[in-house]
Amino acid sequence: MVPNGIDLKRFDPTRYDRNRCRKALGLKPDHFVIGAVSRLAPQKNLDHLLLAARALLQKRNPLSARFRIIIAGPDGGSKKALVARAAKLRIAKHVRFIGSRSDVPHILRALDVFAIPSFHEGTPFALLEAMAMGLPIIASQVGSIPEVIDGNGYLVCVLQPEETSSAIQDLSGDPALRARMGQRSRELARRYDIDDMVRGYESALIDAVRMSKKRRRPLAGRRRRSR
């Protein structure tokens, strides 16, 4: 098996100024920001994140005034519904849809927590990139996500947004926990270096070529029968 790989040099939090990245998104220093980088498609279950935000904001705790959601990614058919949903839930002022972006490391550097509540996934690149950027993770327990985060994060049920709301509450109130989880995320992401992925595919292709040649090689001593 050759796991997916990412560019750990590009996705390195030390390369990007956090305050500058947040300012570029109109975020204030005291904002607590949870984000997602994803296609806006039904599979990605981003409605879950909006419902979790509504549950959190209804509690009228000190976090409510400074809580923000940033969702980056192209429209996969759900943007109109998600924008309407945020308005209906009365959380629109807390949510920003910023579209497809080429500066993903800058977006991730501005976040406090990364969320991926998808209904189904394989090994999502967005998750690996967020981990490489040193972010705590809240994710649905689908596909290889539990294996990737390796106990370092909150695994939530896709149909239980209140679990995500509770996880956000925990992380918002514990900077030390966020720091520990972020550091561990970066360490785990090193397992998914793109250079290792390339070497893995090279090795697999070389083995495949060798096996193909071996199968085509005639058996020693074989003679053609005369008719």
Work out the pLDDT band at 55, boundaries 50, 70, 90: very high
Query: Does 217 reside within a domain?
Result: no
Query: Does 77 reside within a domain?
Result: yes
The answer to whether 168 touches 138, Cβ cutoff 8 Å, is: yes
CA–CA separation, 175 and 89 (whole Å): 28
Number of domains comprising the chain = 1
Query: Does 5 reside within a domain?
Result: no
Over the stretch 192-206, which tens digit does the pLDDT of each residue have? 998 877 887 888 888
Query: Does 225 reside within a domain?
Result: no
Query: Does 6 reside within a domain?
Result: no
Query: Does 101 reside within a domain?
Result: yes
Query: Does 210 reside within a domain?
Result: no
Count other Cβ atoms within 10 Å, centred on residue 103. Answer: 12
Domain holding 46, by residue range, is 13-194
Over the stretch 6-36, which tens digit does the pLDDT of each residue have? 999 999 999 999 999 999 999 999 999 999 9
Query: Does 167 reside within a domain?
Result: yes
| Structure token digits, residue 52 | 């979790």
The answer to whether 79 touches 97, Cβ cutoff 8 Å, is: yes
Note the pLDDT of residue 115: 98
Domain CATH code at residue 104: 3.40.50.2000
Compute, in degrees rounded to 10, the torsion defined by CA atoms 3, 147, 105, 203.
Answer: -10
Per-residue pLDDT, averaged over 97-105, amounts to: 97
